[in-house]
Structure 1
Amino acid sequence: MKNYIQPGNEIAWTNEDVTDAVAVASGDGVVAGSLFGVANGDIAVGDEGTLSLIGVFELAKVSAQAWTFGQKIYWVAADAEATSTAGSNKLIGVAVEAADNPSATGKVRLSAAFTV
């Protein structure tokens, strides 16, 4: 197929040099427009890096929540952590392992879907 580009499991992303921009560390969650991905390496402000859109990742979570297997998980961009609370947060995937309350991290299978 002559118009095929790539599987789309990872995308190149530029950490734009705009007001309040911060460096992204390897493993950090990133909301990029309507996409959510996990940085494959450190991405300084103004640099390009790669975000994984699918896979299972251990992410920082709201400590005071318990998660169940298969539960929908959302991203709180302001706090850079995952949550089971929908609200205005972006849907990023599902929990693939129960997580205790309290606990600092949880395992999430990214959905690779748009977070709109």
Structure 2
Amino acid sequence: MARNFVQPGETITLPAPRALTSGQGFLVGALFAVALAAAAIGARVEGRRVGVWDLTKTAGEAWTAGQRIYWDNTAFRVTTTAAGNTLIGAAAQAHASADVIGRVVLTGQISA
């Protein structure tokens, strides 16, 4: 293996942009991750950038499987609304508009 390889990158350590509990999504610059532990604002936290996660979703939105999912960094929840939000992955399954948790496939892409 090349000597300049550092790590796979699925899990990375980032500064917590706000107080986080384990399982909460967060955005640092162009990187979205799910906190693997609780962290105070500014503390280093391990975040997972890929995988299938149940995350707090915007109520009132019905989802279809495979639909693009975005992170609302003001309300700190996932949404189907693209405008002003960051693409983080796709819906792993359909959800009713009354659902407050959505199953999301995080793709680990870097947002524009």
Aligned length: 111
Residue deviations 1:23-82 (CA, integer Å, cap 9, x gap): 111111101100100000101123211010000100000110000000000011110111
Moved more, 98-107 or 38-47: 38-47
For normalisation by structure 2, the TM-score amounts to 0.95
Distance in structure 2 (CA, Å) of the matches to 1:45 and 1:83? 24
Instruction: Calculate the aligned-residue CA RMSD, in Å.
Output: 1.0
Does residue 58 of structure 1 match 2:54? yes
Query: Within 5 Å, which residues of 2 pair with 1:33-44?
Result: 33-44=29-40
Does residue 95 of structure 1 match 2:91? yes
For normalisation by structure 1, the TM-score amounts to 0.91
Report runs of 4+ in structure 1 exceeding 2 Å deviation.
none
2:4 maps to 3
Unaligned runs of 5+ in 1: 16-20
Q: Name the amino acid aligned to 2:6.
A: I
**Aligned-pair identity (%):** 36
Q: 1:45 aligns with which of 36, 41, 44?
A: 41
Q: Name the amino acid aligned to 1:62.
A: T
